[in-house]
Structures are given as C-alpha cells and as structure tokens.
Amino acid sequence: MATGSGQFPTMHPVSGFKLGTTSAGIKTPGRNDLVLMEIAPGSTVAGLFTQNAFCAAPVTICKQHLASASPRFFVTNTGNANAGTGEQGIADALQTCETLALAAGVDSNQVMPFSTGVIGEPLPMDRLLGGLPKALANLSEQAWSEAADGILTTDTRPKGASLKYPAGDAQVTITGISKGSGMIKPNMATMLGYVATDAAVDSELLHRALRLANNKSFNRITVDSDTSTNDCIMLVATGASGVVIDESNFEQFVEQLTQVCLELAQAIIRDGEGAGKFVSVIIESAVDSAEALAVAYTIAESPLVKTALAASDPNWGRILAAIGRAGVNALDVNLVQLRLNSVLIAENGARAASYSEEAGQQAMQPEDIEIRVALNRGQATETVWTTDLTYEYVSINAEYRT
C-alpha cells in the first residue's frame, strides 16, 4: 500500500554529477542493487548521518572519508545494510572503497560507501566488487531514474524531486533521490538521500544549508519511530552553473533546497510500509519548537491514533490522550483546540459544541489527513508527517528480515 499518485517527476540533470546503476546479484536476481555516483573535481560535499549508536560500518567510514578528503564517488549497495557486522563490516566497507578507487583512479578516501537492507549479515563481497566495473561503465548525468530505482529495498516506488530556479542571469538546478519505507524516524537524515546542485557553495555554507533543509524535511517524518542504523543524506554542489552561493542569496538557495528535501521526505511517507493515509500533524501556538515537536511526535507515533487513522475513525479521544501524555509542562487542557481536516473537533477539554459525528466521519475519509492542534500558549509551530498503522505494516514486518 502507498498513498498519492506516486508519479516519478522529470529529473533535471546536474552538470558535474553522474550516476551508474547495475545489478550485482545482492538482492533478488535481476533487480538493480548497486549504484555509483561520480562527483566532478572541485565540487563540495556535505553529509548528515544517523545518530543511532549502532550505526552501520559504511556510516563510520563515510564520516572518516568526508573529514579527510574531497569525495569523488558514492557507492551504494542495497539488499544488505552492513550493520551489526563488527570489524568485518568495517573491513568490507574499506575494501569496497579501495577497489573502486583503484578502478577509477582516485584515492580510496575519496570514495564514500553506503549500504541498506538486512542488518547483521556479512556483505557478499565477491558479488559487490564484481558489479563495480559495470556500474562505472554506465555513468551518465541522465541516469537519475535508474539510480532512484537501484537504491530501493522494501519501497514500492522510486522517489525523486527536481527543480530549477533563476539566480541572477543564470539558473540553479537541484535534483535528488531518496529511499526508505520502514524503520523510518530519521535522526539527522532519512535512510538514504542524495541531492546534487550545480550551484557553487563552499563547504561551510553547504553544511549549513543541508542542516536547515533537513530540519524541515527528513527530520520531520516518522513511519514507525524506529531510527535506522544506516541513515544518510548527502548534498553535492558541483558549481557547474557558475552561480556562487554566498550570504546574499543563501536564503533563496535554502528555500529551494528545502523544497526538494521536503518532496523526497514526503515521498517516503507516501510509500511508508502499509500506508493507507498520508498524515500531517501540525502543532500550533506552542511555547517553543521542542514542545510542538514533542506533541507532534507523541500523536504521530501513538499506535492507537495510527490504528484509528487506518479505520478512518475520527477517534479524537485518543488524540487528546496523546496530547495529554506528551510531557507539556502545566498544559491547560481547556485552551487546546483540535481540528481534523479543518473540522473543529474538540475544545474546552471536551467535544466541540458544533461537532457532529457525521462531520467527523467525513473529515476522516480522504487519503490525506491533517491533524491540527492549537495549544494556544505560545508562537511556535511545527509539522510532522506520518502514516497510519495497518494490517499491511504488521504483515510486511512480521515477514521481512530487516
């Protein structure tokens, strides 16, 4: 199950950024599972990584390589997360970098490795290394769609976003792909996301832009509250457009980048495991952002709220109960207002006088649901996106070995 049309967008190539995809036989035979990305010399690269203490071996290596060199290649395998693999996992990730570096004529710390799939199994190194030459031969600036497909695991759809915006006399392109469907509550970034732009952005600004965009997109989604061991989001700036980002046009760049990241993050929620609803949880008039997020995530992660959503049941008592346990200091429940798709459901600690069960039922029918809570005690607003909890979620996760 999934929500929305799932149409894959037109992907504008980013000059200086190439992608090559192949099948190395790690996943189901015939399915693409190995993706290379080549970054032109002189580009800048920013990355954000999972905060899970049991982070995967490739995450550890990615951080070391990003700190010590200018990345020239990303290599991603699916079907195996290379997580929970101890010292062997580290050795395998390093060998992958070394083998690719040798074939491509770069230093091995200019290669960043990424893995996604089953946790706790050793990487099938023979197959992985054997696939590298084919992927290298496939590299092309046009190949975003194949790469978006090649990085998927339990996802049912490829996820992409792309835009161009005018900057002075020139144009800036931002294009990205992501994957993720379960074990989704990114804590820095989603399972895997790659975004490239042809703007010229120095390293410090690029990191700042990625953190800002990430905090309004990937860091605002949850399918099942489970932060993955492999989350990474990478941003590459090739500079090929000639547009230099500085403090004067930084805000515009972040706005456009956030748009791309938001589309990629929301695509993950639309394709969340077993998803029958796309749910925006909007908390308004909180004291601060942390308070708004605490309430939003308590609602978004409540199994009782999520099963009610699956049944299209306007079960507002469960939403009030979630708000009430979110740890808000001295919450005056009489000030709280709750709306479902703009129907006022509850206020003054009880059902709204204007509410009818029919109106509530009707508000819950659409695939896209907005849960809007006004705390009426401050100025902060935050939005979090999530899915419902369906039989299909249980079925997928009782049968799939993460």
- Choosing from 62, 128, 236, 328, the residue that interacts with its own copies (CB under 8 A) is 328
Nearer to its own copies, 88 or 142 (CB): 88
CA 283 – CA 287 distance, rounded (Å) = 11
398 touches its own copies (CB under 8 A): yes
**Which of the residues 153, 190, 238, 298 is marked catalytic?**
190
219 near its own copies, judged by CB under 8 A:
no
Q: Please give the single-letter amino acid code of residue 59.
A: V
Q: Is 142 in the site for its own copies (CB under 8 A)?
A: no
Task: Determine if 373 is a binding residue for its own copies (CB under 8 A).
Answer: no
Q: Which of 318, 363, 369, 384 binds its own copies (CB under 8 A)?
A: 318
Shortest CA distance to 248 belongs to which of 364, 152, 167, 194? Answer: 167
DSSP state of 282: E
**Binding-site string for its own copies from residue 112 to residue 131, where x marks contact by CB under 8 A and - marks none:** ------xxx-----------
Question: Does residue number 301 form part of the binding site for its own copies (CB under 8 A)?
Answer: yes
Stretch that binds its own copies, among 71-79, 163-171, 246-254, 391-399 (CB under 8 A): 391-399
- Given the complex with its own copies, which of 206 and 352 has the nearer CB atom? 352
Q: Helices (DSSP H) in 246-390: which residue ranges? A: 250-270, 289-300, 303-310, 316-324, 357-363
Q: Does 78 contact its own copies by CB under 8 A?
A: no
- Both tokens of 143, joined, read 């190949």
Q: Which is nearer to its own copies, 85 or 96 (CB)?
A: 85
Instruction: Tell me the per-residue interface mask from 225 to 244 with its own copies, x by CB under 8 A, - otherwise.
Output: xxxxx---------------
Among 4, 84, 124, 378, interactor with its own copies by CB under 8 A: 84
Report the phi/psi class of residue 180: left, alpha or beta, with left for phi > 0 and alpha for psi in -120 to 50: left
| Contact pick of 290, 311, 365, 367 for its own copies (by CB under 8 A) | 311
51 binds its own copies (CB under 8 A): yes
Closer to its own copies by CB, 178 or 230: give it. Answer: 230
Minimum CB–partner distance for residue 307 and its own copies (Å): 4
Q: Which of residues 158-177 bind its own copies (CB under 8 A)?
A: none
Neighbouring CB atoms inside 10 A of 352's CB total 18
Structure tokens that stand for 212 in this block: 């800002």
- Which tokens is 173 given? 């392109």
- Write the CB contacts of 250 (distance below 8 Å, at least 6 apart in sequence): 205, 208, 209
Q: Assess 303 for contact with its own copies (CB under 8 A).
A: yes
Q: How far is the CB of 43 from its own copies (least distance, A)?
A: 31
Return the closest-CA partner of residue 115 out of 98, 92, 135: 92
Does residue 53 belong to the site contacting its own copies (CB under 8 A)? Answer: yes
Helix (H/G/I), strand (E/B), else coil: 354: coil
Is 60 a known active-site residue? no
Q: Which token pair is 395?
A: 């079925």
- Three-class secondary structure of residue 69 per DSSP: coil
Q: Please list, in sequence order, all residues whose beta carbon lies within 8 angstroms of the beta carbon of residue 327, skipping any fewer than 6 positions away.
A: 294, 298
d(CA 266, CA 310): 18
Q: Give CA 170 to chain center in angstroms.
A: 29
Closer to its own copies by CB, 123 or 196: give it: 123
Find residue 161's DSSP bridge partners: 176
Q: Rounded CA gap, 166 and 70, in Å?
A: 28
From the list 325, 356, 361, 365, which residue makes contact with its own copies (rule: CB under 8 A)? 325
In the complex, which residues of this chain contact its own copies (CB under 8 A)?
Answer: 51-55, 81, 83-89, 118-120, 182-183, 185, 187, 224-229, 301-304, 307-308, 310-311, 313, 315-318, 320-325, 328, 331, 333-334, 346, 348-351, 389-391, 393-395, 397-399, 401-402
Q: Which residues are catalytic?
A: 190
